[in-house]
């Protein structure tokens, strides 16, 4: 097969000059120009890049922006044309620091994304839930995160990468990757033909498609978390006034859980997560299943009295999993390509941005001193694994009934609620103050299994509540 060199924009080193970023660095641009003059010839494959990135989601665009701002030659391949639909709409406050570092806040505010001030959880047997606000978290640094339509948010992030000097190619799918001691070669499918590009290092940020994880056979699923999700967007879902109207609501049923995420003044994302088998056994279509299961939940049905579905019904399968290795000599995995843990705590975009940032920092050092890879790549793997472990433990606890029983009966002893709130907001630091409180929290969840230290819950909607909902819906129809 003939492989043509991938065309590059003229003077693409200085692409950032045309961008609007306020923090364009002349020093970085000059360093980048000199560095490019030292690069080895690449055997007829055209210029060699410092870093090639597969995927333009939050992990890929974060890494691209930071590396480009450090003066590195970065090329991003995204198989879709942005904006494209994506699930994962509720962000965590601990991503805000990375947004500050990338100078994104002004653009995010201009785009008008809804500020999110916290969350609320319910058991599906009662309308009495427990709200938490990010401002009350242990050592809270910001009172809000955002609720975002991912099509717009991901485009904003990827455009920002390009404005900061990364070469971004959309509608360009990476179809093959080969490694040598010195570099990595990618084969890109674009407009029906294959093209080649060579880079010194590769970041796989291809999301749940997991290009390298699949190629290398290192993607391992968590058998006990084989879930599936069915979701859609709705208009006119009723919500509270003020900041309570911005909260993500989670409703825990006995064998499934639901999210309600306000996206704009009019639009709301609603979905359910359950075992693959339970859905398969229902023999219902995704549309019918979603409609039926939402109607059975009084808390949701009440909010949806006047709602109408404005998107198709989506189904996401294949979670949760982790790659057994997050790096090789010439590659790093970031975001969902590294691992994906159940979406219950909205940790996905946070972990994507976090790992994108961490791998950009590691690569930036390694590009100057390649021998540092021996220390920095394993450290990257440990850091990202540790972050995923924190959420995995949280998720495992969530799927016990006792988690929600303890969560819905908070007692402000030992500062437990602020510590749990901090982890829910993405505080995965090494603070001992949070860690020992989390141990106590998990101990209480374990204790609840054996002794009812707080009231037991059925997590089954009360029949009369559901019947009331049907009656009031019929009346208002
Ligand atoms: C049901 C559900 C609900 C969720 N809810 C939340 C939530 O509320 N909050 C939250 O933070 N997270 C949530 N998530 C998780 C979130 O969607 C992901 O964690 C997040 O999108 C990961 O970002 P990423 O950049 O790693 O991957 P992605 O955002 O998936 O980006 C990867 C990109 O790579 C591209 N790509 C793939 N293969 C190739 C290829 N061969 N060549 C070129 N490009 C390629 C894809 O087109 C895609 O654009 C949810 C996930 C699910 C399944």
Per-residue pLDDT of the chain (477 residues; tens, 9 = 90+): 333 333 333 333 222 222 233 333 444 444 444 333 333 333 333 579 999 999 999 999 999 999 999 999 999 999 999 999 999 999 999 999 999 999 999 999 999 999 999 999 999 988 888 999 999 998 888 999 999 999 999 999 999 999 999 999 999 999 999 999 999 999 999 988 999 999 999 999 999 999 999 999 999 999 888 899 999 999 999 999 999 999 999 999 999 999 999 999 999 999 999 999 999 999 999 999 999 999 999 999 999 999 999 999 999 987 789 999 999 999 999 999 999 989 999 999 999 999 999 999 999 999 999 999 999 999 999 999 999 999 999 899 999 999 999 989 878 888 889 898 888 888 887 789 989 999 999 999 999 999 999 989 888 887 665 555 444 443 333
Q: Distance from the CA of 57 to the center of ligand 1, in angstroms?
A: 6
111, with CB counted inside 10 A (0-12, 13-18, 19+), is middle
The minimum-distance atom of ligand 1 relative to the CA of 338 is 26
Residues in the chain: 477
- Ligand 1, pocket-test mutation among 159, 343, 360, most atoms within 8 A of CB: 343
Burial 378-391 (b: 16+ CB within 10 A, else e): eebbebbbebbebb
The minimum-distance atom of ligand 1 relative to the CA of 208 is 30
Q: How far is CA 92 from CA 155, 334, 348, 426, in A?
A: 19, 18, 9, 6
Give residue ranges with CB within 6 A of ligand 1: 54-60, 77-80, 86-91, 173-174, 205-209, 211, 229, 271, 316, 319, 335-337, 340, 343, 346, 348-350, 352
Q: Distance from the CA of 99 to the center of ligand 1, in angstroms?
A: 18
Asked if residue 6 lies in contact with residue 195, where contact means CB atoms within 8 angstroms, the answer is: yes
The minimum-distance atom of ligand 1 relative to the CA of 211 is 41
The minimum-distance atom of ligand 1 relative to the CA of 206 is 34
The residues pairing with 232 across neighbouring beta strands, listed in sequence order, are 270
Q: Distance from the CA of 123 to the center of ligand 1, in angstroms?
A: 28
- Ligand 1, pocket-test mutation among 6, 52, 54, 55, most atoms within 8 A of CB: 55
User: SS3 sequence, the chain?
Assistant: CCCEECCCCCCHHHHHHHCCCCCCCHHHHHHHHHHHHHCCCCCCCCCEEEEEEECCCHHHHHHHHHHHHCCCCEEEEECCCCCCCCCCCECCHHHHHHHHHCCCHHHHHHHCCEEECEEEEEECCCCCCEEEEHHHCCCCCCCCEEECCHHHHHHHHHHHHHHCCCEEEECCEEEEEEECCCCEEEEEEECCEEEEEEEEEEEECCHHHCHHHHHHCCEEECHHHCEEEEEEEEECCCCCCHHHHHCEEEEECCCEEEEEEECCCCEEEEEEEEEHHHHHHHCCCHHHHHHHHHHCCHHHHHHCCCCEECCCCEEEEEECEEECCCECCCEEECHHHCEECCHHHCCHHHHHHHHHHHHHHHHHHHHHCHHHHHHHHHHHHHHHHHHHHHHHHHHHHHCCHHHHHHHCCCCCCCCHHHHHHHHHCCCCCCCHHHHHHHHHHHHHHHHHHHCCCCCCCCCCCCHHHHHHHHHHHHHHC
254, with CB counted inside 10 A (0-12, 13-18, 19+), is middle
Provide the pLDDT for residue 413.
Answer: 84
Q: Distance from the CA of 55 to the center of ligand 1, in angstroms?
A: 9
> Which residue's CA is minimally distant from atom 1 of ligand 1?
229
Asked if residue 247 lies in contact with residue 103, where contact means CB atoms within 8 angstroms, the answer is: no
Provide the pLDDT for residue 47.
Answer: 73
Provide the pLDDT for residue 470.
Answer: 45
> Which residue's CA is minimally distant from atom 19 of ligand 1?
348
Q: Which two tokens stand for residue 394?
A: 């949280």
Cis peptide upstream of residue 348 (ω within 30 degrees of 0): no
Provide the pLDDT for residue 450.
Answer: 93
The minimum-distance atom of ligand 1 relative to the CA of 350 is 11
Q: Distance from the CA of 265 to the center of ligand 1, in angstroms?
A: 24
The minimum-distance atom of ligand 1 relative to the CA of 61 is 25
Provide the pLDDT for residue 155.
Answer: 98
Asked if residue 196 lies in contact with residue 45, where contact means CB atoms within 8 angstroms, the answer is: yes
> Among 160, 172, 84, 110, which Cα is nearest to 353's?
160
Asked if residue 165 lies in contact with residue 16, where contact means CB atoms within 8 angstroms, the answer is: yes
- Ligand 1, pocket-test mutation among 61, 157, 207, 263, most atoms within 8 A of CB: 207
Half-sphere exposure of 229 (CA within 13 A, CB side): 20
The minimum-distance atom of ligand 1 relative to the CA of 336 is 26
90/115 Cα distance (integer angstroms): 10
Q: Distance from the CA of 208 to the center of ligand 1, in angstroms?
A: 6
Q: Distance from the CA of 434 to the center of ligand 1, in angstroms?
A: 29
Q: Give me the phi and psi of 470, to 5 degrees please.
A: -60, -45
The residues pairing with 327 across neighbouring beta strands, listed in sequence order, are 332
Helices 58-69, 150-163: inter-axial angle, 10-degree rounding: 20
Q: Distance from the CA of 337 to the center of ligand 1, in angstroms?
A: 9
**pTM (2 d.p.):** 0.88
Asked if residue 120 lies in contact with residue 131, where contact means CB atoms within 8 angstroms, the answer is: yes
Q: Distance from the CA of 100 to the center of ligand 1, in angstroms?
A: 22
The minimum-distance atom of ligand 1 relative to the CA of 340 is 19
- Ligand 1, pocket-test mutation among 61, 88, 159, most atoms within 8 A of CB: 88
Cβ count within 10 A of residue 116: 24
Q: Distance from the CA of 163 to the center of ligand 1, in angstroms?
A: 22
Provide the pLDDT for residue 18.
Answer: 24
Q: Distance from the CA of 41 to the center of ligand 1, in angstroms?
A: 35
Provide the pLDDT for residue 46.
Answer: 56
Q: Distance from the CA of 17 to the center of ligand 1, in angstroms?
A: 30
Provide the pLDDT for residue 318.
Answer: 74
Helices 373-398, 348-368: inter-axial angle, 10-degree rounding: 170
Q: Distance from the CA of 350 to the center of ligand 1, in angstroms?
A: 11
Provide the pLDDT for residue 324.
Answer: 97
Could you tell me how far CA 145 lies from the centroid of its own chain?
13
The minimum-distance atom of ligand 1 relative to the CA of 349 is 11
Provide the pLDDT for residue 201.
Answer: 98
């Amino acid at each position: 097969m003939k492989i043509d060199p991938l065309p590059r924009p003229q003077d693409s080193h200085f692409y950032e000059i045309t961008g609007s970023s306020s923090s364009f660095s002349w020093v970085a641009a000059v360093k980048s120009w000199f560095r490019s003059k030292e690069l080895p010839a690449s055997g007829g494959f055209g210029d060699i890049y410092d870093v090639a990135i597969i995927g333009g989601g939050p992990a890929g665009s974060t890494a691209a922006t930071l590396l480009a701002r450090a003066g590195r030659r970065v090329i991003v391949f995204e198989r879709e044309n942005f904006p494209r639909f994506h699930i994962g709409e509720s962000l965590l406050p601990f991503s805000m620091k990375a947004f500050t570092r990338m100078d994104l806040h002004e653009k995010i505010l201009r785009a008008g994304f809804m500020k999110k001030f916290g969350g609320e959880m319910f058991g599906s047997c009662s309308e009495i839930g427990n709200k938490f606000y990010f401002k009350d978290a242990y050592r809270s640094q910001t009172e809000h995160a955002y609720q975002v339509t991912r099509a717009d948010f991901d485009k904003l992030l990827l455009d920002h990468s390009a404005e900061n000097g990364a070469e971004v190619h959309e509608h360009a799918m990476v179809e093959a990757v080969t490694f040598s001691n010195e570099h990595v070669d990618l084969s890109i499918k674009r407009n029906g033909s294959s093209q080649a590009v060579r880079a010194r290092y590769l970041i796989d940020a291809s999301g749940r498609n997991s290009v390298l994880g699949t190629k290398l056979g290192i993607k391992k699923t968590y058998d006990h978390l084989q879930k599936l999700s069915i979701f859609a967007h709705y208009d006119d879902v009723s919500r509270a006034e003020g900041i309570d109207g911005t909260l993500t609501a989670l409703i825990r049923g006995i064998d499934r859980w639901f999210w309600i995420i306000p996206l704009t003044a009019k639009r709301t994302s609603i979905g359910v997560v359950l075992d693959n088998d339970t859905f398969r056994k229902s023999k219902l279509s995704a549309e019918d299943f979603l409609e039926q299961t939402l109607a059975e939940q009084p808390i949701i049905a009440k909010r949806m009295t006047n709602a109408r579905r404005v998107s198709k019904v989506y189904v996401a399968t294949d979670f949760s999993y982790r790659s057994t290795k997050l790096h090789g000599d010439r590659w790093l995995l970031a975001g969902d390509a590294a691992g994906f843990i159940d979406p219950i705590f909205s940790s996905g975009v946070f972990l994507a941005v976090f790992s994108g940032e961490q791998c950009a920092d590691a690569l930036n050092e390694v590009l100057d001193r390649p021998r540092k890879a021996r220390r920095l790549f394993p450290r990257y793997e440990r850091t990202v694994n540790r972050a995923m472990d924190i959420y995995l433990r949280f998720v495992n606890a969530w799927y016990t009934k006792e988690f929600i029983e303890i969560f819905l009966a908070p007692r402000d002893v030992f500062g437990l609620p602020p510590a749990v709130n901090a982890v829910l907001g993405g505080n995965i630091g090494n603070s001992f103050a949070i860690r020992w409180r989390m141990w106590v929290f998990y101990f209480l969840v374990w204790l609840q299994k054996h002794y009812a230290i707080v009231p037991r819950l059925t997590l089954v909607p009360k029949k009369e509540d559901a019947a009331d909902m049907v009656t009031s819906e019929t009346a208002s129809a």
